[in-house]
Every structure is written in structure tokens, then in C-alpha cells.
């Protein structure tokens, strides 16, 4: 598998990472090195363990075996470097809290549980809301937002954390065109400022346009490397098996896959 170039720091490293829910292994011996400063796509079929991998990187699920490091650090020091955007379905949107409070929660790692948010915390929260185009909704209850707006609030919360590494679970799933554009702009901006962003992506459409580096996961790492090297029919077949009805055709130009061709999952 292609390695991270020696002059690029490794942002996310796992070795032998194995996670099981009630003795059923979900991730098996995952060894990954992901480059700093890249937009990394994490792709694989439903149930492949994508969300579980993010949770293991965050320390939200304990591994059965193996370890994780973020920019060379482990444990709590690693988690302080990470901002997380959970999968939208996993959040209780009826929780009675307004948009600004949700974004301020992103500052809690810095605020400490018993300290009130400082003026700087509030300013950073407002700035993050502006970055995702949601400042006008700051005092709205989160239950009263559309799906796309909710997604943007969670992006703002992650931004307010001022993390080095961002883990985003399907930020583009089921969002409207305006939110999709806002998310893509944000991803580019994070990369331009040297951040590392690992994005779980739900389909194969435009994978080549979005991501510098691609991880194909199906309980194990099927492939990990620069997108052009990883996004090949053989690798996709290995990751999706029979569930991939249409494989991208090889291009005539010699690139592994023709732009615009999409895999269609059944």
C-alpha cells in the first residue's frame, strides 16, 4: 500500500486496531497512516465499520486490541487535537438547546466543565457560525432547523474547537445543494490552513474530485493511498463485492477511472 511521503507528517496512525461489539469483530487489525494537511475520504459499504473507526480514533469506543495516535500523541493529548462531526442520525435533535449553545459546546474542551465561556469563546463560536452561514440562526432551537442547517451547526461546533484533525461522519449525506456547497468550501478552507480532514463519504460520486487520499474500508483496510492510485475497479470490487452494481470504467487516458463515472450501490 502506498506510504505517506517521508517529508509529510503522519496525522492519524493506527496499528492492529481491532474493535468488537459483543465479541463480534467490526474492525480487524486496521493499520493506517494518513498524511497531515490532506482531505482524506473514508469509503466503504454500509456496516463496513466507518463510523466505528471514527469513534475509535476519538476514544469513544475502546479497542479490543491495537492503538491510535494523532500527530504522534496518544490518549487525552490526542483527543484534544480532534474535532468531530457525528453522523446526523446519531444525534438527539429534540434536545432543548439553541444553535449558539451547541457551537459553544465545541469550546468545552478548552473552557473546562465548570468555567463559564469567555468572551473569546463566544467570539469564536459566532465566527464559526458565520463561516457556515448560520449566524442568523444563533438563537433558534436546533429542533427547528432543516437537516442541512443542523449539519452546518455541527460543522460550526467542530470549527469552534480549533482542532488540528477533523473527523466528519457523512457530512454530505442527505443535504441540500446550499449545504453541500458550504461543506465543500469549508473542507477546502480547512485543508488550505493545513488541517487534516477525514470524511466518511456515503457514495462514490465525485470521490476523485473531493479527496487527496482515499481509504477503502470493509472491516479491514482494502486500500489506502493517493486517490488516483486507490480508486480502481479492482479495489472497489474488493471493498463492495457484489453490492456494487456498476463499476467505474477504466479511462482511455490511462487514469484508473474515468471522471464522472459513478459506482452505483444497490
Which residues lie near ligand ADP (CB under 6 A)?
Answer: 21, 26, 44, 46-52
End-to-end Cα, the chain, rounded Å: 28
Judged by CB under 5 A, does residue 51 bind Mg ion? yes
Count, residues near Mg ion per rule CB under 5 A: 2
Smaller CB separation from ligand ADP, 103 or 239: 239
Judged by CB under 5 A, does residue 28 bind Mg ion? no
* Strand order through the sheet with 10-21: 24-35, 10-21, 65-70
Smaller CB separation from ligand ADP, 21 or 95: 21
Q: By beta-carbon distance, which residue lies closest to Mg ion?
A: 51
86 binds, among Mg ion, ligand ADP, none (CB under 5 to 8 A by kind): none
Least Å from the CB of residue 3 to ligand ADP: 25
- Helices then strands, each counted (H, E), the chain: 10, 11
Residue 82: Cβ-neighbour burial (10 angstroms; 0-12, 13-18, 19+): buried
Least Å from the CB of residue 55 to Mg ion: 10
Single out the segment in contact with Mg ion by CB under 5 A; choices: 43-51, 202-210, 211-219, 229-237: 43-51
6 binds, among ligand ADP, Mg ion, none (CB under 5 to 8 A by kind): none
d(CA 186, CA 53): 23
Least Å from the CB of residue 77 to ligand ADP: 25
d(CA 17, CA 64): 8
Smaller CB separation from Mg ion, 51 or 161: 51
Least Å from the CB of residue 68 to Mg ion: 18
Smaller CB separation from ligand ADP, 47 or 75: 47
Cβ-proximal residues to 212 (8 Å cutoff; 6+ apart), any chain:
35, 38, 39, 40, 191, 226, 227
Least Å from the CB of residue 266 to ligand ADP: 15
Q: Taken in order 88, 93, 98, 103, is the CA torsion positive or negative? A: negative
Crossing angle between the packed helical segments 147-160 and 119-131, to the nearest 10 degrees: 140
26 binds, among ligand ADP, Mg ion, none (CB under 5 to 8 A by kind): ligand ADP
Least Å from the CB of residue 197 to ligand ADP: 17
d(CA 133, CA 77): 31
Amino acid at each position: 500500500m502506498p506510504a505517506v511521503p517521508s517529508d509529510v507528517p503522519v496525522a492519524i496512525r493506527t496499528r492492529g486496531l481491532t474493535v468488537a461489539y459483543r465479541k463480534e469483530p467490526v474492525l480487524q487489525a486496521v493499520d493506517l497512516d494518513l498524511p497531515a494537511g490532506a482531505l482524506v475520504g473514508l469509503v466503504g459499504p454500509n456496516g463496513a465499520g466507518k463510523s466505528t473507526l471514527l469513534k475509535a480514533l476519538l476514544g469513544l469506543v475502546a479497542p479490543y486490541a491495537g492503538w491510535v495516535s494523532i500527530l504522534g500523541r496518544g490518549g487525552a493529548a490526542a483527543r484534544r487535537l480532534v474535532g468531530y462531526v457525528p453522523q446526523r442520525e446519531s444525534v438527539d435533535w429534540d434536545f432543548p438547546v439553541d444553535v449558539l449553545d451547541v457551537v459553544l459546546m465545541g469550546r468545552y474542551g478548552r473552557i473546562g466543565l465548570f468555567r463559564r465561556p469567555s468572551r473569546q469563546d463566544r467570539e469564536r463560536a459566532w465566527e464559526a457560525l458565520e463561516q457556515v452561514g448560520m449566524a442568523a440562526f444563533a438563537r433558534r432551537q436546533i429542533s427547528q432547523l432543516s437537516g442541512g442547517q443542523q449539519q452546518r451547526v455541527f460543522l460550526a461546533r467542530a470549527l469552534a474547537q480549533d482542532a488540528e484533525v477533523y473527523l466528519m461522519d457523512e457530512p454530505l449525506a442527505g443535504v441540500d445543494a446550499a449545504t453541500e456547497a458550504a461543506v465543500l468550501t469549508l473542507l477546502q478552507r480547512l485543508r488550505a490552513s493545513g488541517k487534516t480532514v477525514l470524511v466518511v463519504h456515503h457514495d462514490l460520486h465525485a470521490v476523485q474530485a473531493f479527496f487527496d487520499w482515499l481509504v477503502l474500508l470493509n472491516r479491514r483496510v482494502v486500500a489506502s493511498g493517493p486517490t488516483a492510485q486507490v480508486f480502481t475497479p479492482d479495489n472497489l470490487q474488493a471493498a463492495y463485492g457484489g453490492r456494487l452494481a456498476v463499476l467505474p470504467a477504466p479511462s482511455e487516458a490511462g487514469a484508473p477511472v474515468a471522471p464522472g463515472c459513478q459506482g452505483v450501490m444497490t
